[in-house]
Amino acid sequence: MDGKRKADSRNKKKKKASEALDILAFGAHPDDVEITCGGTLIRCADQGYRVGVVDLTRGECGTRGTPEERLKEAENSRRVMGITVRENLGLTDCAVTNDEESRLKVIEVIRKYRAKTLIIPHWEQRHPDHAEAAQIIYRAAFLAGLKRFEAEGQPFRPEKILYAYNFRSFVPTIVVDITDQFERKLEAVRSYRSQFDPCASQDPPLRWVMDMDKMLDAKARHFGSLIARTYGEPFIVQQVIGIDDLVTMSFRTM
């Protein structure tokens, strides 16, 4: 290999390494991750981790706001959250389907960012796109690690999947303390002015949206109370979590 090719290969490797993230969160639509796990993403960024968000669609079927507005709002929110990258895969809103084309896009983004921890939507959801997204991403995360699976990028399989949820009350397996991040979570959600600005809509059925701050406050307080903190965000993992140190484990019985 001559000098120039060696340098090119070094630069390529450097670029690959610089793209690598610690945590990658997926949402079906712009604003999903802010609502379900925004505080956790901010906390991870505060801790110095490289955090990324991938939105599957541009939310073009939404009642309010244009796709262009929502992209701008998503970028504003990215800055508020202090996360490293945000990407939109451009799947079709309200028609998210667990097909080969969609899986391929997700596989390539998983291989590109090589995050060991993924946060993805829970599989039971009110909005069909959210439920379908869970299926696509789980399958893509598995396939991304197969050496012989043909897709862009080097094989890579994430180690952990955390499921985020916002629809019903449920018993989480993990709650992240977001007390210090809660105000910034609200600010990130408010970045979506087209969706949540009380002045932007007079539509009575959307009144709950206008009370988004209160709803998020109530939910985060509820889950925070489960771990004796002011605010928390809940997740489900499908595995049993092992503990290394019983004395220092973050847990209170009374």
Q: Does 64 bind Zn ion (CB under 5 A)?
A: no
Question: Does the protein bind Zn ion through residue 109 (CB under 5 A)?
Answer: no
Q: Which stretch binds Zn ion (CB under 5 A): 27-35, 97-105, 170-178, 202-210?
A: 27-35
Answer for the pair 186, 249: CB distance below 8 angstroms, yes or no.
no
**What single-letter DSSP state applies at residue 1?**
-
Among 24, 28, 133, 141, binds Zn ion (CB under 5 A): 28
What are the distances in angstroms from CA 10 to CA 14, 15, 17, 112?
6, 9, 11, 17
# residues near Zn ion by CB under 5 A: 3
Query: By beta-carbon distance, which residue lies closest to Zn ion?
Result: 29
Residues 28, 32, 36, 39, CA torsion sign: positive
Query: Binder to Zn ion among 23, 26, 32, 36 (CB under 5 A)?
Result: 32
Gap between the Cα atoms of 147 and 133, Å rounded: 24
Find the binder of Zn ion among 22, 24, 25, 29 (CB under 5 A).
29
Q: How far is the CB of 61 from Zn ion (least distance, A)?
A: 10
Residue 160: strand pairing partners: 117
Nearest distance, CB of residue 53 and Zn ion, angstroms: 13
Hey, what are 170's tokens? Answer: 């449920």
Which residues in this chain contact Zn ion in the complex, by CB under 5 A? 28-29, 32
